[in-house]
Structure 1
Amino acid sequence: MSEKRKRCANFSLNEKIMCLNVIKKYKHIIESKETGALSWKEKEHTWKMIEREFNAHSDTYRSLDVIKRFYTNKKKDTRKCAANNRAEYFGTGGGAPIPATIVKDPTFELTLDILNKKTVVGLENKFDSDMMNEHPQQNKFEFIYDKPDEPQKEIDSDVEIDNQDTYEDNNKENTNTHDWTTYTAKQLQTPITVELKAPNNTPNKKWTRRRRPEICSTTNVAVRYEEVASVKKNVMEAQLEILEFQKKEMKDKAEWEKRQRERHEREEIEEFELKKKALQLDVHIKQAQLNALNSMTS
């Protein structure tokens, strides 16, 4: 059976703040999402450094497991407290009154600084009515006063207009508001007013500095394409001749190897037949000699 964990003294408020401040110095390592072997070794080494640094300034000795357990529980409490605060903020009301559960803990913000605040509190919605705006701003209204329309002066579009005067007129604030209900389609044929004409600083220049591509004659292009096509055709014909020659050479080589193999097989068969006949003659000779010896002994 595993040994029962010994309970140690609770952390005081000063110890909590001191421990979280020490952990905050190494939060880029402790809260790293990497899971490699090197990162785990680095985290273990960092936790040992945190243990030594905390015990060097604290009156009560805290082991590494106790510090880790305190930090884990503190993260859970912080996430739970943030969720309760958010639920309290977005409560719609109605029904029996719910007692407030928001706890003012000085270590809450300190723990949020160590953790990723977006994963604890969540993202703020800037475009919906759920936006958490702690400092509401007053709406600024702009009042526009209607003035009677002034009759437009007809201006000939062919008349030259000074660019500088046009630019100054365009920069003036136009505070007149027009009632578009009195306009008709016929008024669209009226010339453009001075306010709508853009300044033209270079009226005499009718060209741009962008380089234009040189246009080649179609005959030269066609001739070049024909030359390229003829060269490609000659190359393909030469490659085809080389392939035909290689094919013929391989075929001749295969036939020669076949003839050599057949000749070698015939020679082996003839040699076998000769050896067979020689053995048969040797057997007959031995048999004749044996018969002669038997007749002499009898």
Structure 2
Amino acid sequence: MKMLKNNKKVRSSNFSREEEMNLIQEIEKFKHILECKITNKVTNAEKEEAWRKVLSSFNSRNLQVRSISQIKSKFDNLKTKAKKEMAKQKSYMRGTGGGPAIKIELDHVTEATLNVINMKTVVGLNNSLDSDFINVKVEYYKKKKELLEKRVEAEEKERSRRREREEEEHLKKMILLDLEIKLKEKQLK
């Protein structure tokens, strides 16, 4: 939002349906980062970088230039709308009065938003803990384990190369010593 001389904010234009769809498509590419529940220094830095990439790509596809705060706010609003629609549908499914359940038709932006957000936050978990924190932690530790395994593998390769170089050096020294011994034996004879 821009400021005028008398400190009044100027409203930016509303997001069009096409802009909303473009935003969701860009966020979909980074949903594993942006929808991660873990918040620490590393994941927060990853999220900020992901938002910058989303913004850059989003602005390159649209005429209206938006800020990070605008797209974050819009995404939050889209998530809220999608969750409300799912809650309404769930309410209708549990309703009484006979007859078939009322099926709410979702627009394509809401459906795309539901595909991006973690469905467990919308419909709930089927386990006794009723939290996706454990699943997020498992994913976090899987990635951490994978990175550690790659580091160990790289260090092992480096040790192996170093060992090979040392063995070559040792072999060369042994050959030189053997030649020196033969030379000394010839000189003594």
When normalised by structure 1's length, the TM-score is 0.37
Is 1:18 the counterpart of 2:22 in the alignment? yes
**Residues 6, 68 of structure 1: alpha-carbon distance in 2 compared, 3 angstrom cutoff:** farther
Aligned residue number for residue 106 of structure 1: 108
Unaligned runs of 5+ in 1: 95-99, 126-298
Aligned length: 118
Q: 1:27 aligns with which of 26, 31, 36?
A: 31
Aligned-pair CA distance for 1:19: 0.6
CA deviation string 1:230-283 (max 9, x = no partner) = xxxxxxxxxxxxxxxxxxxxxxxxxxxxxxxxxxxxxxxxxxxxxxxxxxxxxx
Shift of 1:60: 1.3
Question: 84, 93, 100: which one pairs with 2:97?
Answer: 93
- Per the alignment, residue 122 of structure 1 pairs with 124
Amino acid at match of 1:27: K
Partner residue in 1 for 2:83: 79
Q: Give me the whole-angstrom Cα distance separating, in 2, the residues matched to 1:14 and 1:92.
A: 38
Which whole-Å CA distance do the structure 2 matches of 1:119 and 1:47 have between them? Answer: 21
Alignment CA distance shift 1:41-1:4 (3 Å): farther
In the TM superposition, what is the alpha-carbon distance from 1:80 to its structure 2 partner? 0.8
Contact preservation (8 Å) 1:26, 1:46: yes
Q: What are the Cα deviations for residues 197-233 of structure 1, in whole angstroms up to 9, with x where unaligned?
A: xxxxxxxxxxxxxxxxxxxxxxxxxxxxxxxxxxxxx
Q: Secondary structure at the match of 2:12?
A: coil
Q: 1:5 to 1:93 in 2, by over 3 A?
A: farther
Structure 2: where are the runs of 5+ without partners?
A: 1-6, 128-189
Rg (Cα) greater in structure: 1
Which is helix-richer, 1 or 2?
2
* Conservation of the 8 A alpha-carbon contact between 1:84 and 1:101: no
In the TM superposition, what is the alpha-carbon distance from 1:58 to its structure 2 partner? 0.8
Match of 1:44 among 44, 48, 71: 48
Measure, in 2, the Cα distance between the counterparts of 1:75 and 1:92.
28
Corresponding residue for 1:56?
60
Distance in 2 of aligned mates of 1:69 and 1:39: 20
Query: 2-side partners of 1:52 and 1:80: how far apart?
Result: 29
Using the alignment, how far apart are the partners of 2:73 and 2:8 within structure 1?
A: 16
Q: Hey, what's the Cα distance between the residues in 2 that align with 1:117 and 1:89?
A: 17
Distance 1:50 1:90, change over 3 A: same
Q: Distance in 1 between matches of 2:44 and 2:106?
A: 34
User: Match of 1:218?
Assistant: none
Calculate percent identity across the aligned residue pairs: 38
Q: Which has the higher contact order (CA 8 A, sep 6+)?
A: 2
User: Alignment partner of 1:102: what SS?
Assistant: coil
Following TM superposition, by how much is the alpha carbon of 1:33 offset from its aligned partner in structure 2, in angstroms? 1.4
